[in-house]
Amino acid sequence: MNPLPEVGPMSPLMMKLFENSKEAIFFFDKSGRALAMNPAAEEIVSEDVLMKLYEGSEKALCGTCRGYTSDTEQITCLDCYFQLPASAEHSSFQVYLETKGKGVVPYAGSFHTVDPENGTRVFMLRDLTPQLRVQEKLYQNKMMKHVIEAQENERKRLSRELHDSVAQELMSAVVDLRVLKYMTDDDTVLKKVKQTEAAMTRLLDDIRHLSVELRPAALDDFGLEAAFRSHFKRVEENYGLVIRFVSGVARKRYDSDIETVIYRICQEAVLNALKYAQVDTVSVHLFERDGLLRLEVEDEGEGFEAGSDPIGTGLGLYGMRERAELAGGSLNVHSEPGIGTRVLLQIPIPESKEKE
């Protein structure tokens, strides 16, 4: 501390504020020389800049200041706040300072005259890093929610289109083909028609699968349990993997967001078991307890060491956790090599919005 004569006596309370405040406080005289700095201020400014500030050398503050945020630029020195006349002073602005050991840090700054007679001005700084971090996280979450929602909506649209128009049209063509059977006795024609009917029936099946894979209509129309049952049947047909599904939610419906999160995470967890666990059965348990909707996906397969190098991209688990957190839930993955893997997803059910 440098108790300078210009500062004069302070009341004990003011002294404590000056000494212990987490905010950096600088006093400058009208020539731009630093009169006093509190410990928080001295902490962020490097030694040589500190000296220059007390000496009042020109542009001493520029040794640490990297610019402020104007309405046109993120970081600028144009119309420097330090040079402005008292009449045009900014009461509050965002400023970037090169700090000792922490690099460039954003601060909420204020710079104004406190003693018009002597031209004494005060420069106060509050670290904005935590606020900005929170804001950024909030923004990211919001974006992520939008992206997921847009993806689901687009999948829904495509799925409906395939199911309602493409599959429908094809179905009526198949029916026409069946009618053809009664219009001729020619064996070769009948055989050919039958082959075509078989091919078209399989094609129809493929389109329906595609539609369900994009987004099962059952999830929107009948809820989680129905969607799971048909999804698991498809996994069994495609990969021969048997899924033992126990549900304690019956036909209960939840918010569409929650249902989507549970469905997508389960899909991913089952696919992981299929890809990496080397098992031919997986058990899935869906139930409600203590206001939480819980999903357990368990296998007795190869398992893995937490934190070890993933065989795949490693993004799957990250994405699952991200989705769970966006819905206010949590995801726990417990795995042991040689014993198996257990994925537990818990999502709080908003009381009021519960639908029967």
Partner 1 sequence: MGLHADYQTELNAMRQAFGYDFLALALVEPAEQQYVIRWKYATGNLNERFRRIVLKSGKGIAGMVFKTGKSVFIPSVRDYVAASSLFNYPIVQSEKLESLGAVPIWNDARVSGVLLGGFREEHLMTPDLMFALEQAARHGIGELDGKEVASH
Tell which one of 19, 236, 288, 336 touches partner 1 (CB under 8 A). Answer: 236
Judged by CB, which is closer to partner 1: 197, or 322?
A: 197
CB of 211 to partner 1, least distance (A): 15
Q: Which stretch binds partner 1 (CB under 8 A): 4-12, 194-202, 315-323, 346-354?
A: 194-202
The answer to whether the beta carbons of residues 311 and 276 sit under 8 Å apart is: yes
d(CA 255, CA 62): 55
CA distance to 280, 339, 340, per residue, from 305 (Å): 21, 11, 10
Total binding residues toward partner 1, as defined by CB under 8 A: 24
Residues 295-354 contacting partner 1, CB under 8 A: 311-312
Q: Which two tokens stand for residue 263?
A: 């469905």
306-342 burial, b at 16+ Cβ within 10 Å, e below that, comes to eeeeeeeeeebbeebbebbeebebebebebeeeebbb
Q: Which of 137, 157, 191, 251 binds partner 1 (CB under 8 A)?
A: 191
**Among 240, 290, 306, 351, contact with partner 1 (rule: CB under 8 A):** 240
Shortest separation between residue 272's beta carbon and partner 1, angstroms: 10
Other C-beta atoms lying within 10 Å of the C-beta of residue 38: 20
Q: Which stretch binds partner 1 (CB under 8 A): 51-59, 140-148, 188-196, 259-267?
A: 188-196
310 φ, ψ (degrees, to nearest 5): -70, 150
Residue pair 335/304 in contact by the 8 Å Cβ criterion: yes
Tell me the window of 43-51, 149-157, 275-283, 346-354 that interacts with partner 1 (CB under 8 A): 275-283
| Among candidate residues 170, 152, 154, the one with its CA nearest the CA of residue 207 | 170
Dmax over Cα atoms in the chain, in whole Å?
118
> What H or E segment, with its residue span, contains residue 197?
helix 187-214
Tell me: does residue 205 bind partner 1 (CB under 8 A).
Answer: yes
Closest CB to partner 1 among residues 219, 270: 270
Is there binding between residue 206 and partner 1 (CB under 8 A)?
Answer: yes
Binding site for partner 1 (CB under 8 A): 188, 191, 195, 197-199, 201-202, 205-206, 209, 236-242, 274-275, 278, 280, 311-312
